[in-house]
Amino acid sequence: MGPVSDSTRWIVVVEEPFLPADAGGRVETFSFLTAASAAGIRMQILVPSREDLDIAAYEEAVPGSAVIRLPRDDSPRAHLTPKPFMHASRPVGPLRRALESTPPRADAVISYSCRSSHLGEEIARIWKLPHLVRAHNVDSEFFRVLARSSSGPRAVAYELEYHKLRLAELAMHHSPLVTCIADISLEDHEWRRTRASVPTFHLPPFLPVGALRATASTEPAAAAAAAVAGDQRLIFVGSLDTPTNIEALRWFLGGCWPMIRVRHPKATFQVVGRRPEDGLAAWLAGFEGVELHTDVPSVAGYLTAATLSVNPMRSGSGVNIKAIEAMATATPVVSTPTGSRGLDWAPGTDLLVAEEPGAFAAAACELLDNPVRAAEIGLAGRAFVRRELDHAALIGRIQEHLTPS
């Protein structure tokens, strides 16, 4: 697909501030915006935020865009409405006022999260625009998992949000104000297309353009030689205040890491992420060979230096951006089936997949024992990412679904 005409204009409503792009959802959102900008699309980007934004920095990061902050409402009343909190905390009132002061000039509106889809529907209703919703996961299922893994008042709150979200998803699936829904995950698309009268399609994630252009050896032998020269370093990347990530770490460190250390006593495990929950650092300190790196400016250097990346997710939906980021650097990935869901990659070729702790540890040790095999997996994963996640092709798919036939 060639560059899009400068006359193409979108209103994009994101979920939250996307700078710094230091976590999976933020990385994917920022990568989409920069891809659209590079394609010549001009955007008004509406950003729900609790805090003031450095508008100049945002507009510099996404050339050709106009960025507008929409205030968030995290007051108790946002919890006490029939709407899901994630909708009520992003109220429509500030959106209407913003559009009154800055009338949109647009061909379409894109809600770059189901959590902001109600705002996109309001824009579509007022301005009669086609409206695409980007779905990063099935939000109701995420909250059901949270409810089941919590207790007391928190579990009750999560369960209530789950039921509110189910109703909101039902409404979105049949809304005349939604033109189409673009699921990031193949499995989520298959789940949604049987429930929605609105057209749905699979749109893989956007990665930073630098990740798609990263250079590394294309020969397994050369990559293996580099791996042999370095340490045996495993890495986990993810937000460290997210229950599903903490669940994954506990499963890996409790069941897999001891077996890996028996066979590779000098191996180290780096946990890299932001906002560690209370007590996490002390808990990790109880394991030999484990290092915690928090709130780092970029995870790219950590991924490139790692021997392999582990993705031991036990629950959740969508696509794990952290696994794709590792693959983009030619770092081989060992994942659970849950962590590898979402894209049509080939287990055993593009990455290794194992369900039980013993099998997961064995897969990691296979790559530690055999640098050539590790390099083959890493290079195949990088080739998959470059082949399937081309920015121009992904932007083209969005255009096709927004343009009436």
Is 332's pLDDT higher than 70?
A: yes
**In this predicted model, what pLDDT tens digit does every residue of 149-158 receive, in sequence order?**
788 998 999 9
How many other β-carbons are positioned within 10 Å of the β-carbon of residue 229? 8
Q: How many residues does the chain have?
A: 405
Q: What is the reported pLDDT for 2?
A: 42
pLDDT more than 90, % of the chain: 72
Check pLDDT > 90 for residue 248: yes
Domain ranges of the chain: 9-204+390-402, 209-388
Is the CATH code 1.10.340.30 the one for domain 209-388?
Answer: no
For residues 80 and 74, is the Cβ–Cβ distance under 8 A?
Answer: no
pLDDT for position 98: 78
pLDDT of residue 288 exceeding 80, the answer is: yes
Average pLDDT over the chain, rounded to an integer: 90
Q: What pLDDT score does 230 carry?
A: 55
Q: In which band, very low, low, confident or very high, does the pLDDT at 128 lie, cut at 50, 70 and 90?
A: very high
- The pLDDT of 366-372, averaged and rounded, is 96
pLDDT band per the 50, 70, 90 thresholds, residue 73: very high
The pLDDT value recorded for residue 343 is 86
**Residue 404's pLDDT is what?**
65
- pLDDT value at 228 more than 80: no
Is 60 exceeded by the pLDDT of residue 250? yes
The stretch 281-301 carries a mean pLDDT of 92
pLDDT(293) > 80: yes
Mean pLDDT of 243-272: 95
Rounded to 5°, the CA angle 396-180-50 comes to 95
Would you identify the CATH topology of the domain 9-204+390-402?
A: Rossmann fold (3.40.50)
Q: Read off the tokens for 356.
A: 């039980």
Q: Are strands 131-135 and 233-237 parallel, antiparallel or unpaired?
A: unpaired
Q: Residue 84: pLDDT band by 50, 70, 90 thresholds?
A: very high
The yes-or-no answer to whether 9-204+390-402 and 209-388 have a common fold is yes
User: Tell me: the pLDDT tens digits for 86-117?
Assistant: 999 999 988 888 777 766 689 999 999 999 99
pLDDT tens figures, 298-310: 888 999 999 999 9
Which pLDDT value is given to residue 229? 46
pLDDT higher than threshold 70 for residue 172? yes
Please give, one letter per residue, the 3-state secondary structure of the chain.
Answer: CCCCCCCCEEEEECCCCCCCCCCHHHHHHHHHHHHHHHCCCEEEEEEEECCCCCHHHHHHHCCCEEEEEEECCCCHHHHCCCCCHHHHCCCHHHHHHHHHHCCCCCCEEEECCHHHHHHHHHHHHHHCCCEEEEECCCHHHHHHHHHHCCCHHHHHHHHHHHHHHHHHHHHHHCCCCCCEEEECCHHHHHHHHCCCCCCEEECCCCCCHHHHHCCCCCCHHHHHHHHHHCCCEEEEECCCCCHHHHHHHHHHHHHHHHHHHHHCCCCEEEEEECCCCCCHHHHHCCCCCEEEEECCCCCHHHHHHCCEEEECCCCCCCCCHHHHHHHHCCCCEEECCCCCCCCCCCECCCEEECCCHHHHHHHHHHHHHCHHHHHHHHHHHHHHHHHHCCHHHHHHHHHHHHCCC
pLDDT digits (tens, 9 = 90+) for 195-216: 999 999 999 999 887 766 655 5
